[in-house]
Structure 1
Amino acid sequence: MKLSIIIVSWNVREDLLRCMRSIKENEPSCDFEVIIVDNASTDDTVNMIKKSFSEVKLITNQQNRGFAAANNQAIELSQGEYVLLLNPDTILHPKSLDILVKFMDSNEDMGACGPKLLNADGSTQDSVRRFPSFRGALHRHTVFKFVGIFKGEYRKWVMYDFKNDKQRDVDQVMGAALMVKRSVTEQVGLMDERFFMYYEEVDLCYRIKQAGWRIVFIPEAVITHIGGGSSGQIPVSKRIMAMTSLLKFFRKHRGKFATRLFSCVFKPAVILRDLMNIVLSTIKYIFATATLDRKGRKKTAENIKNSVILIWRYCSRFRLLKM
C-alpha cells in the first residue's frame, strides 16, 4: 500500500465529518487507507464514523491518550509506504495528496513534507518554522514581548518573511498535515509520547533532520486548516500545555542544565506578562464600564480571569523547573 492517512479526533465530530467528505471527494490515485483514532470523544464521533465511513479503520480509546500516543497507535497499525498525519479540522483540495505522494516518490532523500495550508477565509496560514530557540520563546510567551525584547529571534523562529509560493527545505512543517516516509519512522522512532499535545511533530521533525533527511514545503499541494478544533475548546489549558511541551523539547534537545537555567528566567517572566495583562485589562474594564461597552467589559473580564487562572497554575501545578 502506498499511503496511510491518519486522523486523531477528540470531540470534533463536525470537523471530522467535513474532513472525511473532503477525502472522499479528493481521493488520491494510489492505493490508500484511512485510520481514525478517537480519544474518548463524547460527541457521538464513533457512531458517526461507523455509520458513514464503515471502510475506515477505527481505533477507539477509552481515555484521551494525547495526540502523540494516538498517532503512534495508528502508525503501528498502518501499512502505507507513506504516512500522512492529518488534523480533523482540515479540508483537502483537488490533487493535494497526489502531489505530496509524487514528490516523495521522486526524492529519495526526502524524510517528510507538508503542503501549503490555508485559513478558512482562503488566506495563507503560517505552516513552517525553524526549530525553537530560548530567546524566541521568551519573546513569544513572556513579558519580553511587551517591550520588544528578542523580537528578531522570534521572527526568525516563525519565519516571519517566509514566501509560501516556492518549494523549500525547512526545519519543520505543521503537524496539521505532515507526510512522513515509513522507513524514516522506523529509523528515528515514532512520536515521543511524553508530549501529550504540542511540539510532538517538532520533535519528530528534529529527529528526522538530525538523521540527515530533508523536510520540504510543497506549496503546489493545498489543504485548508480551519483551526480551533480540539485544542481551541480549552484556551487556558492550551497555553499551559504548549509551554510545558516547549520546555520538554528544550530539555530533550538543548540539554537539561541549559533548560533549567532558562526556566529560572522563563517562569517569572511568564507570570509578569500575565500580571501586566491583569493591570491593562483592569484599566480597559473600567473604561468599558464607564462607556457602557458591555461587549468590551465582558472580553476584558475574561482576559483578567484567564490571567489569574494561569498565574495560579504557574505557582502551584505548572512545574517548569522540574520536568
Structure 2
Amino acid sequence: MTQLSIIILNYNASAFLELCVESVLVATQNIKSQIIVADNASTDNSLMRIKQYSNQVEIIEFDKNYGFSKGNNLAVQQATGEYICLLNPDTIVGSNVFDECYAFAKPALSGVEVAQSQVGFIGVQLIDGSGTYLPESKRRVPTKSGVALKKIGVDSKYYDQRFTQDERAKTEVLVGAFMMGKKSTYEKLGGLDERYFMYGEDIDLSFTALKNGFHNWYLGDLKIIHFKGESTIQDKKYRERFYNAMQLFYAKHHPESKWSQWLVNKFAQVMINKTPKSIEQKIDVDRRQIVISEDYDSDRFEVFTLDQLLESNFLTDTVNLEIIWDTKTIERQEIISFMSFHGNRWTYRFLNHSRSTISGSDSSNSRGVVKQF
C-alpha cells in the first residue's frame, strides 16, 4: 500500500518546480510514495523541466487554472496514499522530512504518545530563500483584531508565539505550502473549500479540523525552504484575494457576528487599495560567487567542498558572498541547516541536478532569479 502521496500543485514555477521535484525524489527513497504534479495550465516550461522524471512522477495537466483549492482537491482524488502532503512547487525539502512526519503520524513507529486518530494535519518550519524563518509556519486562528494588528507590525495575535520556532507542539493554523495528513481526514473534512481561489484555504481547513476534534501539529525541528515569492506576489490581485478570503472566512465560521463581518469588510476594502512597498532582489556586481559541490568542475565559478567551506575563512572574512549549492552532490538537509543557522548574511542560489540552471530568491516578497546556462 502507498504510504504517502505528495501533491505538488504547479502554476508557472518553472525552475523552482524542478528543484522541488528533485528534492522530493531524494526524500521519498525510504517511504512507499506517490508523487503527483498537478499543473494549473501553466504557460511557461514547467512541465518540460520535469519531463525527465515522468517515470517517477505522475503528471496531471488541467485545462485551465482551477486555483489552489480545486486544483489540490482534484489531485487528491488521484492519490493512492494513506497519507497525503500538499506541497508548494517553490519548496525544497530535506531528506528526512517525510520519514519524520510519517513516523510522528504513526505512533507505533515513533513511540511518541500522540493519539493517531486525533492528528489532523502536520506542518513543519519554513525558511525562505535567504534562510529567514517564515512565521506563518504556525499561526493562530485569525481574529479581526489579529489581522489588523499584523498589518501594522504587531504579530502576537496572528502568528503563534506560544512556543519557539524550533519546538514541536500543537498549533491552530498550518501553512498550505506543506500540509500533511490522512487522506481520509482530508476527505472527511471536505477538503479545501473551493470558494477560496488562493489564500485563506489553509486557514479554513486548519480551523475546520480543530472544530471537528482534531489537533494540528507543528514540527519545528523539521525545516524546508519555501521561496514563497514564486507563488505569492503581493500586488493588488494578491491583496484582493487575501482579504476577500478573510471576508469569506468570517462569513463562514462566524455567521452570527454581523458587526464583525462589517468591520472585516471595511478593513479589507482599505487594505486592497493600499500601495505596497516595492522589494527588489539584491544586486551587487562585486559579489563573490562560489559553488559548493563534491565534484563540480567549472571555469566560471570557484568551487569548494562543503568541508572546505566550513573550515575556510569565508564565513568570517567574506561579506559580499553568494553561495551556490550543487543540489546533486550536497545533501539538502545540510543546505537547509546551514541557511537556517547563518540566515541572510549572504545570498544563496541552487544548481539543479543537470547543472543547467541556477535559481534562488533573496526575499519572500518578490520573485526569484533564474539563470540558464
TM-score after normalising by structure 2: 0.67
- Is 1:131 aligned to residue 134 of structure 2? no
CA contact (8 A) 1:97 1:221 kept: no
Whole-angstrom CA distance in 2 between matches of 1:264 and 1:201: 20
Whole-angstrom CA distance in 1 between matches of 2:239 and 2:270: 15
- Is 1:119 aligned to residue 128 of structure 2? yes
Partner of 2:41: 40
Stretches of 4+ moved more than 6 A in 1? none
Deviation at 1:51, TM superposition (A): 3.4
Output the aligned Cα RMSD: 2.3
Deviation at 1:214, TM superposition (A): 1.0
Partner of 1:285: none
Partner of 1:193: 194
Deviation at 1:250, TM superposition (A): 1.0
Q: Percent identity?
A: 30
Partner of 1:229: 230
Partner of 1:238: 238
Whole-angstrom CA distance in 2 between matches of 1:220 and 1:160: 16
- The 3-state SS of whatever aligns with 1:156 is coil
Deviation at 1:213, TM superposition (A): 0.8
Partner of 1:93: 94
CA contact (8 A) 1:28 1:98 kept: no
Whole-angstrom CA distance in 2 between matches of 1:20 and 1:85: 13
- The 3-state SS of whatever aligns with 2:219 is strand
Q: Deviation per CA, 1:51-79, whole angstroms, max 9, x where unpaired?
A: 33332111111211100000001111101
Whole-angstrom CA distance in 2 between matches of 1:245 and 1:195: 6
- Is 1:62 aligned to residue 63 of structure 2? yes
Whole-angstrom CA distance in 2 between matches of 1:19 and 1:193: 25
Whole-angstrom CA distance in 1 between matches of 2:198 and 2:177: 12
Deviation at 1:263, TM superposition (A): 4.0
Q: Which has the higher helix share?
A: 1
- Is 1:251 aligned to residue 251 of structure 2? yes
- The 3-state SS of whatever aligns with 2:77 is helix
Instruction: Provide structure 2 residue ranges, at least 5 long, that are not aligned to the other structure.
Output: 108-113, 279-373
Instruction: Provide structure 1 residue ranges, at least 5 long, that are not aligned to the other structure.
Output: 282-323
Whole-angstrom CA distance in 1 between matches of 2:95 and 2:205: 28
Deviation at 1:110, TM superposition (A): 0.9
Amino acid at match of 2:68: F
- The 3-state SS of whatever aligns with 2:50 is helix
Partner of 1:102: 103
Deviation at 1:14, TM superposition (A): 0.5
Amino acid at match of 1:241: R
CA contact (8 A) 2:15 2:49 kept: no
Cα 1:267–1:27 change in 2 (3 A) is: closer
CA contact (8 A) 2:21 2:50 kept: no
CA contact (8 A) 2:41 2:65 kept: yes
CA contact (8 A) 1:99 1:220 kept: no
Q: How does 1:1-323 map to 2 (within 5 A)?
A: 1-106=2-107, 107=114, 108=116, 109-126=118-135, 127-141=137-151, 145=152, 151=154, 154-160=155-161, 162-232=163-233, 235-255=235-255, 257-263=258-264, 265-267=266-268, 269-270=270-271, 274=274
Amino acid at match of 2:47: V
Whole-angstrom CA distance in 2 between matches of 1:24 and 1:216: 24
Aligned residues between the structures: 267
CA contact (8 A) 2:247 2:265 kept: no
Amino acid at match of 1:120: G
Whole-angstrom CA distance in 2 between matches of 1:249 and 1:21: 35
Partner of 2:336: none
CA contact (8 A) 2:23 2:95 kept: no
Deviation at 1:260, TM superposition (A): 3.7
Amino acid at match of 1:115: V
Cα 1:28–1:177 change in 2 (3 A) is: farther
CA contact (8 A) 1:28 1:95 kept: no
Deviation at 1:264, TM superposition (A): 5.6
Whole-angstrom CA distance in 1 between matches of 2:65 and 2:143: 30
Cα 1:212–1:52 change in 2 (3 A) is: same
